[in-house]
Structure 1
Amino acid sequence: MSAAQPRVLILPASYFARDRTVGGGERYALEYARALAELTPTTLALFDPTPARETLGRLTIETFPIRHFHQRRLFPLTRTGLRATAPFDLLHAMVFPTPATDLLICAAKMRGQKIVLTDVGGGGTCWSTYLRKLHRAFDLNRRAHGLALLSRHAARFFDDWPQPRTLLYGGVNLTEFTPATEPPRGYALFVGRLLPHKGVLELIHALGPDTPLHVVGRPYDDAYAKQLQRAASGKDVLFIFNADDAELRRQYAGANVVLQPSLPSFNPDDDKSELLGLVTLEAMACAKPVIVTQTASLPELVLDSETGYIVPPHHAETLRARVELFLQQPALTQSMGAAARRHIEQNFTWEKVARRGLEFYRSLPRQP
């Protein structure tokens, strides 16, 4: 295969085929792989005792055989499965460190395959985590040829890594997330996991009792979900815990403004909670203005006062004032929303992200 069209194997954040957790990292890997497959041969890797193969458009989704699901000491890929990873020119792992990435990196180094890493969050204990306690140079992940990172914020965690790097950012499927044909219905919208760092409790406290707020997300912590519901008592808050894709699009369509009010970590140097705000990108693709906090990657995605507003975290008065502005001025929602859609079309489509990735692959030398 030519260097112009490398055969790419992509490892997603959750890589066991059974009972997969499908969150933002998994969605990112799938959408990136689908877009990349339009440009160069691409396979998304999963693992299971029962091998399988399917296609999604031009993308191949291949389940490589493993002996079992226990990976405490060594990833249980069979010899057949390991041989099946040999024809690829490049391994792009979107989760590390893990036992699977350790094994595939070692195999790729022996074969002369290129290795690219993207941190979408996650990872776990493996040989690399033990070895880097001895010396950081022993971390197998540092043997990669390049780093393709989600944002400038994400890049901060790799300042001392020597490899070439690029910023991929993220994309939106513009045929799935489209501007609404009807006027907004007069509510603010939060979309995301219902966890403390997402700032939902602070958002509910910030808004007045008559400010309509829709909260769309899965409760991962029952105690926190009950705390949210208690805080919402007497306020105009609607919780939607089990929204499917169609319901999510309906909620985007009716909103005057979409909020991502995430809170910074107590230790900003170790804050990986918002490596990339996909909700912010999806909302702008739907021609909705957004309000985000000055937290992690979120300010990189928004043009302040053009496609929405960037507000300080823990600043209830400013957050409430910005929300009320959009609810009281639907024309502002329309004008900023149109600018937000243009911003996405120009910078954050999956095709553009995949092209950035492919150009980066082509630029990498064989040896890191």
Structure 2
Amino acid sequence: MRILFVTLEVFGGAKKGGGERYVTELARAARNRGLTVDVVVVRSLREFAELGDLDEPAHAISLRRFFDLAYRCDIVHVHQLNTPGFDYAALMAKLLRKPLVLTDHGGGALAPGRALGRLRLRLIDAAGYVSAWSRQDLDPTGIIKQNVIIMGGGDHLPDADPLEQCYDFGFIGRLVPHKGAHIAVEALPVGRRLVLAGQPRDQAYFASLKQLARNKDVTFVSDATDEVVASLHKSIGFLLVPSVEHYQRRDFSRPELLGLVALEALAAGTPVIGSDVGGLGELLKMAGQITVQPGDVPKWHQALSKAAGSRFPSVTSSAFTWDAVAGKCIELYRSL
């Protein structure tokens, strides 16, 4: 079976956000199961690239090459709905009479197809949702009849030793408002240590985090590699995922469709305290972890105070591996 993945490149080069990580690790797992998986990155309406080596940056290709890969595949699996990639994938799938599968990761870019709204869902033959929350968010009226929850995996980080320095709590992710690192800093109990690891992608927000962290035991680690992230998961008592729905005058309607960093922690045996929001809350409840009302600093402080010094039972499960995700996708492909 030959599958064409069509996706969006958010950060560029070899840098990966959750959506990009999801695509590359799922493609790797599907290849390991014997499928041929081609990956096309649609950067804009006129820019296309192919991801041959999943660990290297994509290389530019022509629209003709994109069409050729679509012609040769059995199924087109597009990642991200609100993107030029979906527009092209849907058009090619219909022209070539190929089944079209959608997995959405919550991101997006300007694309003509967005003007059609949910009418686009009628072009989709099946969906693999990362969470039940994502299904309800994307298709509340059930237009896509054939669908399955495929979740995500966390077993992609390399083996690593713990750091020399240990911390009570850790935050790993982009330092942007909706990820809620400010909640972790504000709720930190006296005498406890916190490490914030991630790229400061909003300089004003990063400056506010520095100000909040004054007179607290908070360590910043910028632009951590996979090896450092793997070591951090083994050097913290709890991973904090305090994603928020509101920050100052800004609202975030889809802060977490799943929560890849939580999956990484669970795979490493590290317990998680996270916001009860979107697919993240769904995942943590499924794994028996602690959930807290998003943005509620007193409740977060209470949860961290109770957790500090204890070891909450961690959960690792074969349901949260990329091989398991690939297996669910293969079942969906075969049904088409």
Same fold? TM cut 0.5: yes
Name the amino acid aligned to 2:203: D
Is the contact between residue 89 and residue 114 of structure 1 (CA under 8 Å) also seen in structure 2?
A: yes
* C-alpha distance in 2 between matches for 1:322 and 1:245: 28
Give, in angstroms, the shift of residue 181 of structure 1: 7.5
1:104 maps onto 2:89 in alignment: yes
Question: How many Å apart are 1:175 and its aligned residue?
Answer: 6.7
Task: Give the C-alpha shift of residue 161 in structure 1.
Answer: 4.2
Query: How big is the shift at 1:287?
Result: 0.9
Measured in 2, the distance between the counterparts of 1:24 and 1:274 equals 10
Other-structure match for 1:291: 273
Distance 1:54 1:197 in 2: 33
| Preserved CA contact (<8 Å) 1:186 1:254 | yes
Match of 2:123 in 1: 143
| 1:155 to 2:135 alignment | yes
When residues 109 and 225 of structure 1 are mapped into structure 2, their CA distance, relative to the original with a 3 A threshold, is same
Secondary structure in 2 aligned to 1:257?
A: strand
Aligned with residue 8 of structure 2, among 7, 10, 13: 13
Alignment CA distance shift 1:27-1:80 (3 Å): closer
Task: Count how many residue pairs are aligned between Structure 1 and Structure 2.
Answer: 328
Give a deviation string over 1:204-259, Cα, whole Å, max 9, x none: 11123422110111111101000000011000000111211221122111101110
SS of the counterpart of 2:29?
A: helix
**Cα distance between partner residues in 2 of 1:240 and 1:7:** 41
Distance of 1:207 and 1:52 partners within structure 2: 44
Q: Distance in 2 between matches of 1:243 and 1:216?
A: 6
Q: Distance in 2 between matches of 1:317 and 1:362?
A: 49
Is residue 172–residue 261 contact of structure 2 (8 Å, CA) maintained in 1? yes
| Residue 171 of structure 2 is aligned to residue 190 of structure 1 | yes
Partner of 1:275: 257
Q: Which of these two proteins has the greater Rg computed from alpha carbons?
A: 1
Once residues 101 and 326 of structure 1 are traced to their aligned partners in structure 2, the CA distance between those partners, rounded to angstroms, is 43
Task: Give the one of 42, 61, 64 matched to 1:65.
Answer: 61
With over 3 angstroms needed to count, the CA separation of the structure-2 counterparts of 1:15 and 1:314, relative to structure 1, is closer
How far the C-alpha of 1:174 sits from its partner, in A, is 6.0
Contact 1:45 1:64 in 2 (8 A): no
Partner SS state of residue 284, structure 1:
helix
Q: Which amino acid aligns with 1:346?
A: S
Shift of 1:52: 6.7
CA distance in 2, matches of 1:181, 1:21: 24
Q: What is the identity, as a one-letter code, of the residue corresponding to 1:231?
A: L
Residue 118 of structure 1 and its aligned partner are, at CA, apart by 0.9
Partner residue, 1:38 = 32
Corresponding residue to 1:264 among 224, 229, 245? 245
SS of 1:299's equivalent? helix
Shift of 1:100: 3.0
Match in the other structure for 2:335: 363
8 A Cα contact 2:284 2:291, kept in partner: yes
Secondary structure in 1 matching 2:324: helix
User: Does 1:302 pair with 2:284?
Assistant: yes
Distance across 1 between alignment mates of 2:48 and 2:183: 46
TM-score, normalised by the number of residues in structure 1: 0.79
Partner of 2:150: 168
In the alignment, which of 198, 210, 224 is matched to residue 205 of structure 2? 224
Q: In the alignment, which residue of structure 1 is the partner of 2:23?
A: 29
Map of 1:204 onto structure 2: 185
Q: Distance in 2 between matches of 1:170 and 1:314?
A: 25
User: 2: distance between equivalents of 1:318 and 1:223?
Assistant: 26
Q: CA deviation at 1:285?
A: 1.1
CA distance in 1, matches of 2:147, 2:217: 46
Superimposed CA distance per residue, residues 171-190 of structure 1 (whole angstroms, 9 cap, x where no aligned partner): 02267368x67999342101
Residue 234 of structure 2 corresponds to 253
Q: Distance in 2 between matches of 1:272 and 1:22?
A: 19
Rounded to whole Å, the distance in 2 between the matches of 1:61 and 1:220 is 21
Question: Which of residues 129, 133, 138 is equivalent to 2:114?
Answer: 129
CA contact (8 A) 2:78 2:85 kept: no
Name which of structure 1's ranges 352-361 and 33-42 shifts more when overlaid on structure 2. 33-42
Change (3 A) 1:64 1:146: farther
Paired position in structure 2 for 1:70: none
Question: For residues 32 and 252 of structure 2, what CA distance do their matches in structure 1 show?
Answer: 36
**CA pair 316-327 structure 1, distance change in 2 beyond 3 A:** same
- Give a deviation string over 1:327-360, Cα, whole Å, max 9, x none: 323xx24xx13xx12xxx3311000000001101
Give the superposition deviation at 1:201: 1.2
- Taking a change above 3 Å as real, the CA distance of residues 194 and 165 of structure 1, as seen in their structure-2 partners, is same
Tell me how far 1:50 sits from its aligned partner. 9.4
- Of 201-210 and 354-363, more deviation after overlay is shown by 201-210
Unaligned runs of 5+ in 2: none
Aligned partners of 1:285 and 1:103: how far apart in 2?
A: 35
How far apart are residue 155 of structure 1 and its match?
A: 0.8
Provide closer, same or farther for how the CA distance between residues 317 and 104 of structure 1 changes in structure 2, counting only shifts above 3 A.
closer
Partner Cα separation in structure 1 for residue 70 and residue 59 of structure 2: 11
Aligned to 2:299, what secondary structure does the other structure show? helix
Shift in Å, 1:53:
7.2
